[in-house]
Structures are given as structure tokens and as C-alpha cells.
Structure 1
Amino acid sequence: MRLEPITWERLTGALAAHLDALAPADGGPWLKVAVDGAPAARPGDLAERVASELRLRGRDVAAVATSGFLRPASLRFEYGKEDPDAYYGGWFDTGALWREVFGPLEADGTGWFLPDLWDPVADRATRSPYRRLAPGGVLLLHGPFLLGHWFPFDLTVHLRLSGAALARRTPERWTLPAFERYEAEVAPADAADVVVRADDPRRPAWAGLP
């Protein structure tokens, strides 16, 4: 895969322009976008940048973090607080994402989605109100392990870190085997539509748009 240097500003603009062109001008179906990456790659930062640019273009946008859809502590920590296999396959409530986020944004959906479900600090439901995403709006779902679940994304962006960069920038080193498993089982750099190398946070590089 050939990667070319790019700035975060240019990357944000290119992704926003691409999504704005994909979204229907007169409302209609919602676009669903994955910004996939380990916490060390800061996928939420890119999602928020793109969301801000799309709002300037007149699009309704929702940037939703998978960290708001964690399972209760009793389920996440069933095998201990530092089990990489549980982190990989058992921490995130994919069923709730299907039900509360993707379902309402299907072609015949209402557009009323839940921005978050569970507060991991208080270990209780957030009780956040539902929010309506206007027709033609864009969902930006960001977090780790987003690919490989058959989520109905219209565009997938993967922030890639080399093994050395991931280890260097991840304080929770016990999670590293989970990301190794993700690489082996899902191969996100091959599965994603857009790949961004973020080893140096000041100098990203990307493979361009599909």
C-alpha cells in the first residue's frame, strides 16, 4: 500500500468533501462512517474534526463514541480487569449499537438514535435523551475494533499504528494482545476504505480516497 504525506487539516477537508458529495442534497438516507483506531491513535479527534467541517457545509452530523456503549462492569470484568480477550470481544455492546444507533438510521428508520448508553465510571445507564439526525445527515462512529461486525458503514477510515508506535503510546499495555488479534483476524488496513498512518501524530500519511 502506497501512502502519501498529508496534514490533518487537508485530510479533514478531503474526507468532509467526499462525504458531502456522497450525502444526498435533498435529505434522504443517512450516511454512516467508521473512524476506527486504537485509543492511542485518537480516532475521536479525527471524527470531531470531520464533524465540524461537515457542519460548516450545512450537514447535520453526530459523532458517537463506542466508549459510550460499554457493557456493565460485571460483564466487562468477568475474567478480570486486564483480560485482553474480554477487551477485544466483550467490552463493547455491539447489540446496543445495532439497536440504538444503526437501526434508527436504516432506510426506513426514524432518525432518532441514542448518543450513548452506559457511563463506565458510574457504571450505570447514562439516561441520555434520544437525538434526531436530520435526513441526509452523517453518523461518525469512532473507537477501536469497529470493523468485522458487519456494521452497515458507507465509508470506513482506519487509523493505523505500527506495533512499535502502538506499544509506545498505549499506557494500558495489557490491551496490546487485543490489537494484535484484531490485526490477525480482521486485517483492518486491508478492510478499510481509507487508511491513515498515524505513527507520528504530527505527520500523518494516507492512501487516498476509494
Structure 2
Amino acid sequence: MRLEAITWERLTEAVAEHVLETGAADGGPWLRVAIDGAPAAGTRERADALAGALRVRGRSVLVVGTGGFLRPASLRYEYGREDPESYYSGWFDTGALWREVFGPLEPGGTGRVLPDLWDPATDRATRSPHSELVPGGVLVLHGPLLLGHWFPFDLTVHLRLSPAALRRRTDESERWTLPAFERYEREVDPAEAADVVVRTDDPRHPAWGGLG
């Protein structure tokens, strides 16, 4: 894939315009965008920037992170606290994401999304109230390993890090997760699966492949 240099500001504006021009694939009243990438890629920052650009354009936006949909510690750590296979397939509660986030945004849904479910610090349910996304609103879901679950996104953005950059920018205490991202590359090939790919090896100088 040929990539060209771009600023984060221009990229965010371009993605925001594209989201609003494209519309929902299922014909429903809500749009769903993924910002996919390893924690070191800074998905939250990019999700917040996109949300800001969409709000300036008059859209209601709800930003949700997969970190609020972790499974309980007893399930995450069943095979140890640093098991990359568990991280890949057992840490994130994809069933809850389907039920609490995507289900309400299907055509005919209520639009009432649960912004988070589980607090990993206390290992208890957050008991957060639902957030109502009005028709025409946009969900921006960010986090790692988002692709390959058949989530009904209308646009997917993958923040790509080379293996060397991923290792360099991942905190030493979290490097045990790196084999999970190697598996993600092999099995999902996010650079091929995503609608938009952004190279973020140097966060000051992103490059992208444009919008299809």
C-alpha cells in the first residue's frame, strides 16, 4: 500500500467529512466508526479528535473505549496475568459490545448505548447510565483488536505500527501482549481489512493511504 504524509488535523477533517457523506451501510439512523490499533498507537486521542470534528459539523457523538468492556479478572487471568492468547481472544467482552453498543444502534433500535460495563481497577460493574445517541449521531469505538469480529462498522480506521515501532512504543510491562498483535496481523491483516490505514511509527508525522 502506498502511503503519503498528512497532518493529524487534515486526516481528521477528511475522515469526518467522509463519514457524513457515506452514511450508514444498513440504512439506519446512526453511524458507527472504529479507531483500531494497539494501545501504543493512541486510539483514544484520535477518537476524541474525530468526535470533536464531527460535533463541529453538528453531529451528536458518543466515544466508547473497549477498555470499559473487559471481562472480569477471573476470566482474563484464567491462564495467568500475562498470557497473550487470553489477551487476544478472552480479555474483551465482545458479546457485551454486541448487546450493549451495537444492538441499540441497529435499524429500529433505541439508540441507548451503555458507554462502559466493567471497571478493571475495582473488578466490578461500573453501573454507568445509558447514553442516548440521537438519530444522525455517530458512535466512535476505539481500542485494540477491533477488526475480525464482524462488528457492523460503517468506517474502520487502523492505526498501524511496524513491529519495531510497536515494541519500542509499548511499555515494558505490557510487552507480553506483543504476540497477540503478531497473531492479529496474521489472522486478520488489519491493514488490508480497514477502510483507512494510518502509519503511526512516528506520531508526529503520520502517513495514510487515503480514502477508498
TM-score computed with the length of structure 1 as normaliser: 0.97
- Distance in 1 (alpha carbons) for counterparts of 2:105 and 2:127: 20
Check the 8 A contact 2:28/2:106 in 1, yes or no. no
Matched residue, 2:155: 155
Matched residue, 2:115: 115
* 1:28 to partner: Cα distance: 5.3
For 1:11-90, list aligned pairs within 5 A: 11-23=11-23, 29-90=29-90
Q: Deviations over 1:114-137 (max 9, x none)?
A: 000000001000000001001011
Counterpart amino acid of residue 10 in structure 2: R
- Distance in 2 (alpha carbons) for counterparts of 1:54 and 1:21: 12
- Distance in 2 (alpha carbons) for counterparts of 1:152 and 1:28: 11
Unmatched 5+ stretches in structure 2 = none
Q: Does 1:170 align with 2:170?
A: yes
Counterpart amino acid of residue 191 in structure 1: A
For 1:199-210, list aligned pairs within 5 A: 199-210=201-212
- Distance in 2 (alpha carbons) for counterparts of 1:41 and 1:28: 31
SS in 1 for 2:121: coil
SS in 1 for 2:29: coil
Between the two proteins, what is the percent identity of the paired residues? 74
Alignment counterpart, residue 183 of structure 1, candidates 182, 185, 195? 185
Quote the RMSD (CA, aligned, Å). 1.1
- Distance in 2 (alpha carbons) for counterparts of 1:154 and 1:121: 32
Check the 8 A contact 2:30/2:135 in 1, yes or no. yes
SS in 1 for 2:14: helix
Extract structure 1 runs of 4+ deviating beyond 4 A.
none
Matched residue, 2:96: 96
SS in 1 for 2:140: strand
SS in 2 for 1:136: coil
TM-score computed with the length of structure 2 as normaliser: 0.96
- Distance in 2 (alpha carbons) for counterparts of 1:22 and 1:187: 24
